[in-house]
Amino acid sequence: MNRIINSLSVFGLGLIGGSFALAIKSKFPDIKIFGVDQNHNHAAKALELNLIDEIKSADDKEVLGSDLIILAIPVSAIQAILSELLTKISDKTVVIDTGSTKASICQCVSQHSKRAQFVAAHPIAGTEYSGPEAAFPKLFEGKKNIICEFELCNDLAQKYANWLFETVGMNNIFMDAENHDKHLAYVSHLSHISSFMLGLTILNIEKDEENILNLAGSGFASTVRLAKSSPDMWAPIFQQNKTHLSKALDEYIMQLQHFQKQLEVGDSAALKALMHKANEIKKVLK
């Protein structure tokens, strides 16, 4: 891999933005990395941790003239700033977003004169932790990255996107934005809601938190892990993917109610049949 860019601006210096900065810096120490974050504590922390070289404001000339801008901010913020950002950047700047929804983000710049300088991406990587301290350079290694509407990007944007995701160790998958959102509702967003609500149910009943600690095994910890995730990040994702997600929730609730009914009538064979079907998830998970 060659260094094909000289400057990079990262909007949002949390887990995702910080990890991109670290991964790129570790391979290309000569690339100048500017950091933009509305949260001054996060910005200061990112500088202190050497995630970035310099803190800048969103409308700084060097930022708007960077070779590459990565947006690692909540999807509502991406949608709010993307159009104006495209208007302001130089003709040789490429913007890549990393949001967990794609349809409404793509929609809001579909008619923009600089649409070709924007790459709609979703790196499938993350942990339940957030903020600059959670960032680490190997977060993306070996993971999948989804790119939507790649055919709408110009050559430079495609080149920079390929270079970026290869540099951090990801494998690209290409799909349309609507399809992305539908599948992600099931394989990611629903998991998060299931986990958040499980956490809530258990906190409500177990007033004495000591009991949870004592009685919970590793299975509980695993199922409820995502309940630690950031509400500020996830609320906009859920809202932007409302239609698919609500349908996924309908189906999940229906499965739970069906299971409960078999439990109540004492049909052990039916319960086992449902679990045997669920066991097939073994085939797709390692």
Q: Using CB under 8 A, which residues numbered 129 to 158 contact a copy of itself?
A: 143-144, 146
Q: Which is nearer to a copy of itself, 59 or 200 (CB)?
A: 200
Shortest Å distance, C-beta 4 to a copy of itself: 27
**How far apart are alpha carbons 2 and 176 in whole angstroms?**
30
Paired strand residues for 34: 9, 54
When binding is defined by CB under 8 A, the residue of 11, 20, 34, 196 that contacts a copy of itself is 196
* Residue whose entry in the numeric block shows the structure tokens 């998830």: 281
Exposure of 256 by Cβ count < 10 A (0-12 exposed, 13-18 middle, 19+ buried)?
exposed
Q: Which stretch, 23-31, 61-69, 111-119, 277-285, contacts a copy of itself (CB under 8 A)? A: 277-285
Tokens of 77: 């913020």
Shortest Å distance, C-beta 275 to a copy of itself: 4
Q: Using CB under 8 A, which residues numbered 18 to 57 contact a copy of itself?
A: none
Shortest Å distance, C-beta 158 to a copy of itself: 20
Residue 207 touching a copy of itself (CB under 8 A): no
Residue 115's nearest CA partner among 159, 141, 83, 163 is 83
Residue 90 touching a copy of itself (CB under 8 A): no
Residue 188 touching a copy of itself (CB under 8 A): yes
Residue 124's nearest CA partner among 79, 57, 60, 191 is 191
> Cα angle at 158 between 178 and 50, to 5 degrees?
100
Shortest Å distance, C-beta 246 to a copy of itself: 6
**Is 11 strand, coil or helix?**
strand
The total number of residues shown for the chain amounts to 286
**How far apart are alpha carbons 282 and 92 in whole angstroms?**
46
Q: Which stretch, 24-32, 91-99, 112-120, 203-211, contacts a copy of itself (CB under 8 A)? A: 203-211
Residue 190 touching a copy of itself (CB under 8 A): yes
Q: Using CB under 8 A, which residues numbered 215 to 274 contact a copy of itself?
A: 215-229, 231-232, 234-236, 238-239, 242, 245-246, 248-253, 255-257, 259-260, 263-264, 266, 268, 271-272, 274
**How far apart are alpha carbons 181 and 193 in whole angstroms?**
15
Q: Using CB under 8 A, which residues numbered 112 to 131 contact a copy of itself?
A: 124-128
